[in-house]
Amino acid sequence: MKDIIKPIAVLAGICLVVTAVLAYINLITLPIITAAEQEAAEQARMEVMPGANSFEQIDIELPEGVTEAYTSDNGGYVFMLSTKGYGGEIKLICGIDAGGSITGISTLSHAETSGIGSKVVENGSGYREGYYGKTADNYSEVDDVTGATISSKAYKKALNGAFEAYELAKEAK
């Protein structure tokens, strides 16, 4: 019995020490990670809403697929979007100016198939720029990417949510 208890006690002690060290490291790094995430989010908002200097989160009832909404000091709005693509969740950020036109879109994360669906969601692919200046009336006129129909439709669905949120945000103002 002694031969069994001693190794178990040693292993339990090692586990407790490792757990305490990991908890301490998490305690130290959590504020740093949180600050970095907030800074990245602020930069993304400024990228999709040129000319804005500050943003304020607004509390309105958001449509499906819109996770956060912000108003900018230049009268525009920024929306955090989430939609289901072919490979998984796609997270976007979209800016819409006071006149209802898209000022910018950026992909925050995606799991689309490399080389096919990724043509739709990757920043720098050229697809997103086709939406710049579009409004709720004509954004659906942008052609889908051949071979990536599901990803293209998911992108448009997310933008539809942004336009719905834009209308709700204008009414709440």
pLDDT, tens digit (0-9, with 9 covering 90-100), for 43-99: 989 999 998 999 999 998 999 999 999 999 999 999 999 998 888 888 899 999 999
Domain of residue 134 covers 1-173
**Which amino acid belongs to residue 80?**
M
Q: Residues 139-152: what's their mean pLDDT?
A: 76
Euclidean distance between CA atoms 15 and 164, whole angstroms:
51
113 confidence band (pLDDT: 50, 70, 90): low
Q: Look over the chain and give the mean of its residue pLDDT values, rounded to a whole number.
A: 87
pLDDT at residue 99, rounded to an integer:
92
Number of domains in the chain: 1
Q: Would you say 169 and 69 are in contact if contact means Cβ atoms under 8 Å apart?
A: yes
Helices (H), ranges, the chain: 2-48, 118-121, 149-172
